[in-house]
Amino acid sequence: MYSAELKKIVEVFELESVLPELSLEGRSVLRREINRPALQLAGFYERFDSDRLQVIGRVEYSYLLSLNDEDRKNAIRHLFQYHIPCLVVCKNLEIFPEMVEYGREYSIPIFRTAQNTTDFTAELIFWLREELADRVMMHGVLVDIYGEGVLITGASGIGKSETALELIKRGHRLIADDAVEIKRIADRRLIGSCPEIIRYLIELRGIGILNVKELFGVGSVKEQKTVDLVIKLEVWDGKADSYDRLGLNEEYMDILGNKVQLNTIPVRPGRNVAMICESAAMTNRQKKMGKNTAQDFANRIGK
């Protein structure tokens, strides 16, 4: 279970604190979804997810404004009694005195933003999905090749970092070397990044640690990238029939429940692995655009 600190949300979205006397230390949000409590303010609390961040927009505000003082007070008190993580009021709408009263009573932070409700909720949901995403740390190298995020894996010492360095020299960008943190943002979207302590660094046996950003410039690195393809490097076993020669047999690697295209590349002296990785990335991109050369060739032979 991951969490997003409330004070970080306040900093990222530049929220105005209505109750600055309430400390945000130790407060966090555990859900990737948010809630606009329109039905709850009307009295319907069945299946109410009180652990979600609550957002008040123009619609909810107008409803509260239409109530008499006693009904509005009861509606707001009932919402705060569920001990919601916090309440955010959009469009710089005026804060009802009842919100301030029950915010203090139940120790629930209240914030305000000038953003309209649609934009704010869209940005917040996207940010929370990334911040609270399921994640895994994988051994390998992640490189951006022609816009495709290619995760290069294989046994230690097989040449992953050397291949990445050659790709960087050819104009591609490094995301992570050795340790790749992968987050599952959506059903079909994996985002790879690098732990901050080794960001922009690459290790070469016999030389040591290199700072790619300093050696090759800011255009040679990137902080994160989708994982579109996995290339597994392994020592060639010498058998010609051990590997797919046409590209018809598709393999996949399961990462956090997502299937990612997997290409197994045999490595031996004389093979330009960097160029092979480039070709694999372009082929994967072609397939996304509906062009499968291997299948076209198979169909041609079938005729």
Binding residues for Mg(2+): 161, 203
| Annotated active-site residue in 36, 91, 178, 287 | 178
Q: Three-state SS for 175? A: strand
Rounded to a whole number of angstroms, the CA Rg of the chain reads: 26
Q: Which two tokens stand for residue 221?
A: 């690195």
Active site residue 112: no
Q: How far apart are CA 169 and CA 299, in angstroms?
A: 38
Active site residue 303: no
Count other C-beta atoms under 10 Å from residue 87's C-beta. 24
Q: What is the widest separation between alpha-carbon atoms in the chain?
A: 83
Residue numbers in the known binding site are 154-161, 203
Q: How far apart are CA 242 and CA 163, in angstroms?
A: 23
Long-range contacts of 259-265 (CB under 8 A, 24+ apart): 260/151, 260/190, 260/227, 260/228, 260/229, 260/230, 261/228, 261/229, 261/230, 261/287, 262/229, 262/230, 262/231, 262/232, 263/229, 263/230, 263/231, 263/232, 264/232, 264/234, 265/231, 265/232, 265/233, 265/234
| Annotated active-site residue in 71, 83, 134, 139 | 139
Residue numbers in the known binding site for ATP are 154-161
Count other C-beta atoms under 10 Å from residue 76's C-beta. 24
| Annotated active-site residue in 32, 52, 160, 232 | 160
Active site residue 69: no
Q: Return the residue matching tokens 């008190």.
A: 77
Question: Containing H/E element for 265?
Answer: strand 258-267
Active site residue 78: no
Q: Which residues are catalytic?
A: 139, 160, 178, 245
